[in-house]
Amino acid sequence: MRQVNQVKLGEEFINKREHRESHDRCLWAARMRRDTVAASIPQWEEMRALASDIRKHVLSNLDQYLEQFAKNAESNGFHVHWAKDADEHNRIILDIFKKRDVKVVTKGKSMTMDECGMREFLEKEGIEINEADLGERIQQLDDQRPSHIVMPAIHKLRSDVADIFARKLGSDRDIDDPHYLNSVMRADMRKRYVRADAGMNGVNFGIAETGGITVCTNEGNADISANLPPLFVASMGIEKILPRQSDLALFIRLLSRSALGLDITQYTSHYHGPRKGQEAHIVILDNGRSDRLSSSDYWEVLKCIRCGTCMNTCPVFRRTSGISYDATYMGPIGIVLEPSYDLYKYARLPYSCTHCGSCGDVCPVQVPIPRLILYWRDVVVKQGYGETMHNLEQAAAEPILKNSRNLMLAEKIGLWALKNLPKGLTESPLLNPWAKEHTNPEPPKETFRQYYNREIKPQIDADGEKAGENK
């Protein structure tokens, strides 16, 4: 099996200048909106800490909460199913559909179903699946996986969407006005909604206390998927549980503000059983989550509430787009999640990180992403999946970083090289990939250590002596 090369795929996106700039601009705007709304709540950091504690508590008592949830959901009229992996998840849903002779399905957004490759599986079985989320539907029509957890087509320009709709829905290619494009989509989807034999949705939160599920959307599409057809199926990872209905107040505030910088999503829908005459199912998926939970190094990844804000802030993600990760989960959360599904395939992803730490700073539930990235790098190297060039660099750096004399010598040689070697060499993209998009600044006259020893250290020493005399 091939390894995903995010650097190469990212380079393709970086070279599409208009796309890259639009992507960066839109995500940074979302990040700035998030900062504004977060700053408007004085207790924001306390809220993050509380949410993290609640998630940790749930994960530490997950078996009890899952049982409580399933019992209450069943008393509400839901049929509850347990799937140990993606295969079982898909088969359970196929069986439900076969029994009811389902031919057409309206599907709301669901990372869990994406993780299981469910749409492709059901389509192979001859079932027509229509994505109800606008971004997800654009991606479906373009035969491409989503590029962001909450904004699946954010890497596309309006003109791309106009082109796709013209090819697939017969609209006017030259009109890329969002109102026009929305009206084209609405007209097409309305017919499909009415024809649907079943609806499907993901789940943002399952509430143990009530057995209800909560879904947040900005288009209201989840409500149509859940309410219009005679059969409804929701898919939920085991970690999505919250203990009490009242916990939602905290998590919905954090989720909507983090995801899009909104006080609340346009639609926050709560389902407490099938509507009259309807049949409703919840499929609860493990798919490796129990193993993640049992890892003392890694279990906190399950706190994630899939808000996507770590993507909006990540400088690598903003420039390279989610498509370049070639994975269900992308960006900072993707590079720590995907290796747990397939270590070899995603061994390079933990290196797609500058270690700025911003993802950890903004995460509403304090998932320690920067630490988890280091954890995976360690695992990758120990498994022998490290890249040859990285391994050579590490081997060369080790004796230098371990010994201060060697480090001082390396600093002097580095500065000499920057000053004296021809730019053709120091800025060769082959030797220095950074130079592909940058020119080196003028080299400083001296190393930082020389500057420190001359300007700063004497002052610190003098202050120390003064403090000693005053004692």
| Residues of this chain that bind ligand SF4 (CB under 6 A) | 304-310, 333, 363-365, 367, 369
Rounded distance between C-alpha atoms, residue 276 and residue 461, angstroms = 80
Of 137 and 257, nearer to ligand SF4 (C-beta) is 257
Per-position DSSP letters for 25-63, written without gaps between them: HHHHHHHHHHHHHHHT-TTHHHHHHHHHHHHHHHHHTHH
Contact between residue 4 and residue 326 where contact means Cβ atoms under 8 Å apart = yes
Q: Which two tokens stand for residue 39?
A: 């700053």
Residue 110's alpha-carbon distances to 118, 204, 276, in angstroms, are: 10, 9, 25
The minimum distance between CB 304 and ligand SF4, in angstroms, equals 3
Q: Which helix (H) or strand (E) holds 269?
A: strand 267-271
The minimum distance between CB 34 and ligand SF4, in angstroms, equals 10
Rounded distance between C-alpha atoms, residue 322 and residue 349, angstroms = 12
Rounded distance between C-alpha atoms, residue 267 and residue 247, angstroms = 18
- Identify the burial level of 424 via C-beta atoms within 10 angstroms of its C-beta, where 0-12 means exposed, 13-18 middle and 19 or more buried: exposed
Of 38 and 280, nearer to ligand SF4 (C-beta) is 38
Rounded distance between C-alpha atoms, residue 117 and residue 360, angstroms = 29
Q: Which two tokens stand for residue 370?
A: 């920067």
